[in-house]
Amino acid sequence: MNPESSCVYCKTNSPNRSEHVFPFGLGGENIFLDCVCADCNNKFSRLEMELIQKSIIGLMRSEVGIEGYSKNKNHPSPFKKSTILFHDESSNIVYEVGQSKGFEVYLRPQIVYFNGDFFIEGASDNDLVLLSKVFIKWIRTSLLVVELPSVNSPGTSVQFQKIGAEYSWESYTGPRKRNKIIFKRMNKDDKFYKLLTTRLFLDDEDNLYIRAKSIEDVTAFIPELLKIVDIKKPLNSFSKNFSSSPVINVAFDFDPLMCERAIVKIGLNAFFHCYPRERYNLFLKPAIEFVLEGKSHFNRFFDRGMKRIDGIEDAHSISFFQHDDNLLLRVNLFSGQFILAFWLNGISVMQPSEHSAVDINYRKRHLRFLTMNDLLYDRAQREIKRNPNA
């Protein structure tokens, strides 16, 4: 295969049109590169998920209301994959909460074990009905609880079974099942660790989770809850006056290196789109290897915002600055709130001291490339609008 007809990242597979120039999940337009293969696109999805759903970027995305292809009708643009907890001081219960567009906080549908009893909570009756339906489906089809491997635990799977009127459990090593409960072990460093009690809850994608301090707590919690379901005992609620803006505790659990790889990939994709003749330049190798393998020797740094360049309303931008034979690339997310920069040494696409940029209006999902003259004119017009009397 001709190297210049292969994927710009892996240099092996034939490219297709599956990779966005700028991620749709951050407000990008449906514009696709024709130089990235399906395999690399699939791998990059994991990087983007780490950035968009788990990191501080995910919180920013949720606050302004950006959504991907799948939309949440009840809670628009939720902050996915996060651990957000609310301590109700009146009852001393710690609840699972979610956060959606505009920092609106809501109770996740959940069953909490507290002081020897079970309590059911949720933002609406519909959420509680959904929790019940998903849990009953789990009882009928799976009875499987899976802990995913992590740094702190190798992961544990157990399956429950009913023998007579009693429930027992055993370790599970069989094939993967879609319908399962994910066990999330409580973090001992969490502010509320001592107050946290075992609970079953739904995430924003209607997946069942159980948060507990140990697998022993899980194997004690589930059988007792199953017995309550068997006898159809109604559960009471503790939270009658839940505020829509309580004081909450947010715990981020993400891989910073994966996030930086995702951001460098966003910058490279914009570069490939704007300067297609440079796609197979050998000087791009260090940046490409960083995206693919996370090699830490690749130099990147967090940069300060430049008001006239980065402070664009409702926008992200990728800026290119030519310094002699080296190109500085800056990925600016959310109007200068987060900027990662890196050098493409040996790359020259403009005259020294010239610059250009890609602007992405995430509310309108519109992407445009601005040459130096267009960029200077655009920023001057924006400055006039900001300061009409200047």
Whether the per-residue pLDDT at 244 is higher than 50: the answer is no
The arithmetic mean of pLDDT across residues 209-235, rounded, is 94
Q: SS3 for 358?
A: strand
Report d(CA 79, CA 70) in Å as an integer. Answer: 13
Report d(CA 52, CA 46) in Å as an integer. Answer: 10
Q: What is the pLDDT of residue 324?
A: 96
Neighbours of 97 (CB within 10 A): 23
pTM: 0.78
Whether the per-residue pLDDT at 213 is higher than 70: the answer is yes
Q: What is the pLDDT of residue 245?
A: 47
Q: 145, 295, 299: which is closest to 225 by C-alpha?
A: 145
Q: 113, 214, 222: which is closest to 168 by C-alpha?
A: 222
- Per the CB < 8 A criterion, the answer to whether 275 and 269 are in contact is no
Whether the per-residue pLDDT at 225 is higher than 60: the answer is yes
Report d(CA 358, CA 375) in Å as an integer. Answer: 9
Report d(CA 381, CA 387) in Å as an integer. Answer: 10
pLDDT in tens, 35-84: 999 999 999 999 999 999 888 898 899 889 998 888 877 778 888 766 88
Report d(CA 203, CA 11) in Å as an integer. Answer: 38
pLDDT in tens, 108-164: 999 999 999 999 998 888 889 999 999 999 999 999 999 987 766 778 899 999 999
The domains of the chain are located at: 3-61+255-386, 83-251
**Average pLDDT across the chain, whole number:** 90
